Structure 1
Amino acid sequence: MGRITTSDLHGYLIDERNLGSLAEIPATLYEEVHADILALYKQAASHDDPFGEGAQSVLKERESLREYIRDLYGVRTRKILALALARANGEEINREEIRMMVPGERMLFDVVYESASSCRKTLLDGKPTLETTAYHFVPAEVSAEQAPVPLTPVNESPDKQCADEVNVTSADAPAPESYRVIAVYENLPEFQDYSGRIYALSPGDVVSLPPQMADVLCKDNKALSIRLRK
C-alpha cells in the first residue's frame, strides 16, 4: 500500500465537493488510510516524550488524516444514499457513478436500494416484505504489524504507580478504561493524546490521560496521580 498524505485526501475532498456526481478514488483508499492512521499511532507511542514536538506532530498528522477521511466519507455517502433512493423510486441513474463506488460503498448502495425498494412495495403496493437487508462488509484485514501497541511506560511494569499518589472516592466523570486520573500542578501547553483529544490544562485541573502521558507528567512533578476507590 502506498502512503496516503493529507494533501492527497484534501485533493480527493475538493474534487468530491466540486462534482455533482461521485469522483473517482482508489478502491482501497479507506483501508490505506486506516493502516496509515494505525502506523502513526504506533509511531507516536514509540516516542519517550509524548508531549515533545516529535510525538505531537505525528499525532496532529494522524488527526488530520482522520478529519479528511471523515469529511470525504460524509460527502460521498450523501451522494450514494441519494442515488440508491432515486433508483428505488424508479428513476434512471448514471451507471458510471456506480462504477466510481469502492466495494464498501457499493454494498451500502445495494442495501439502501433493496431496503427502500422493499419498503415501497410494502407501503404503496401492499406486497409484504419477504426479507430484510442489513449492511455487512468485511474490508481487507490489517496486518499484525499495523495493530496498536499497548501504551505502557518504557522500562516500567503496568502496575507501577507514581511515587506521589492520593486516593479519592469519586471523580466528576469516570476515566476511560486504561486511562489514569491525575491532578495537574502547573500550566501545560496545548497537546493531543493518542485518541486525538486536545487538552489545555491549568493548575488544579483533574483529567484522565493515557498511562504513558500521565506517568511523564507525574515523574516531572507536573501532576499527581489519583487512585479512584470503587
Structure 2
Amino acid sequence: MAANLLEKLRQMLLDMQHSGRLSHIEPGLYDDARAYIEKRKTDYYDLKNPLESRAGGLLIEEIGSVTETVQEIFSVRTRQILDLAYQQIEGQYFDKDEGRKMLPEERAMYERIINAIEECREALVHGEAAPFGGDGAAAGARGDEADGTPEPRGTPAAPVPRSIRSPYALVHIRSDVESFMGMDGRTYVLKMGDIVTLPENNADVLCEHDIALNIRLNK
C-alpha cells in the first residue's frame, strides 16, 4: 500500500508540473495522506528499538517522502490558483472547467484572493477605500509622518494578529525537549523518538544543538 500511495502521489505531482493546469484530485486526498502518515508513525512507535532498527529507518524515509510529496502538491496547486485569480482580475480568459476542479477549501482561498486584490486596487489606484483596516489604518500611517501633519481623526484600529507562517521541516527528535512556542504560534512538547514537522527556523535551532535530526530526502 505504501508504494502504491507514494507512487500515486508522485505521478499526480508529475502530471501537474507538466500540464501547468489545475487538475482534478480526489476530495479525500489530503485526509487519506494524513491518515496514512499517522498510521506509519504508530507503526514506528510500536517498534522495539526504532532508532536502531532498519525497519525504523525505512518508516522514517516513507513518512518523509509522503509528507514532502503532499506538500509539493499543495504548493503547485496554490501557485496555479494564484495564476487563475490574476487572470480573472485582469479580465483575461478564465477556464471555468479549472475552477470546478478546486476543492472547497481552495475555492474559498481563491475568492479571498480575488477580494483582497480588488480591495487593494480600489484603495491604491482609485483611492476609494482603505483595505484591511478602514480609516483607522490610513490615519495611523498619516500620524507617523513629520511634525505639522494634521492629527488623525478617531482612534486607529488595532492590527489583526496574524500567525507567522514559515516553511516546515520534518525532523527526528533525538532527546526530550521542554515545551516551546513555535514560529507558527503552536506549542510543541517533544520527546525522544518523535517524528514531527516543525517550522524551519525552530527545526534549525534544534538541529544546531544536536537535539533533532532534519530528515532531508531527495525526490
| TM-score normalised by structure 2 residue count | 0.59
Q: Cα distance 1:120–1:49, how it changes in 2: closer, same or farther (>3 A)? A: same
In 1, Cα distance between the equivalents of 2:5 and 2:108? 26
Could you tell me how far 1:113 is from its partner in structure 2?
0.9
Indicate conservation of the 8 Å contact 1:41/1:62, yes or no: yes
The 4+ residue runs of structure 1 with deviation greater than 4 A are: 129-132
State how far apart, in whole Å, the 2-side matches of 1:121 and 1:105 are. 24
**How many percent identity over aligned positions?**
23
Q: Which has the higher contact order (CA 8 A, sep 6+)?
A: 1
CA distance in 1, matches of 2:81, 2:26: 16
What's the counterpart of residue 95 of structure 2?
A: 94
Aligned length: 150
Alignment of 1:43-82 (within 5 A): 43-50=43-50, 51-82=52-83
Shift of 1:10: 0.7
Measure, in 1, the Cα distance between the counterparts of 2:5 and 2:211: 31
Aligned to 2:113: 112
The reply on whether 1:208 has 2:208 as its aligned counterpart is no
C-alpha distance in structure 2 between counterparts of 1:121 and 1:196, whole Å? 39
- Mapped to 2, the partners of 1:128 and 1:14 lie a distance apart of 43
- SS of alignment partner, residue 75 of structure 1: helix
- Structure 1 position 209, deviation (Å): 5.5
Shift in CA distance, 196/110, structure 1 to aligned 2, threshold 3 Å = closer
The answer to whether residue 38 in structure 2 is matched with residue 38 in structure 1 is: yes
- Following TM superposition, by how much is the alpha carbon of 1:17 offset from its aligned partner in structure 2, in angstroms? 0.6
| Structure 2 counterpart SS, 1:128 | coil
Q: Distance in 2 between matches of 1:76 and 1:32?
A: 18
Distance in 2 (alpha carbons) for counterparts of 1:71 and 1:178: 26
Q: Structure 2 vs 1, CA of residues 48 and 196 (structure 1 numbering), >3 Å: closer, same or farther?
A: farther
Distance change (3 Å), C-alpha of 1:178 and 1:195 = closer
Distance apart, 1:207 and its partner CA = 2.9
Q: How does 1:70-219 map to 2 (within 5 A)?
A: 70-129=71-130, 177-179=189-191, 194-195=195-196, 207-208=210-211
Q: Distance in 1 between matches of 2:95 and 2:130?
A: 27
Structure 2 CA distance, aligned partners of 1:121 and 1:115?
10
SS of equivalent to 2:210: strand
Note if contact 1:4-1:33 (Cα within 8 Å) is conserved in structure 2.
no
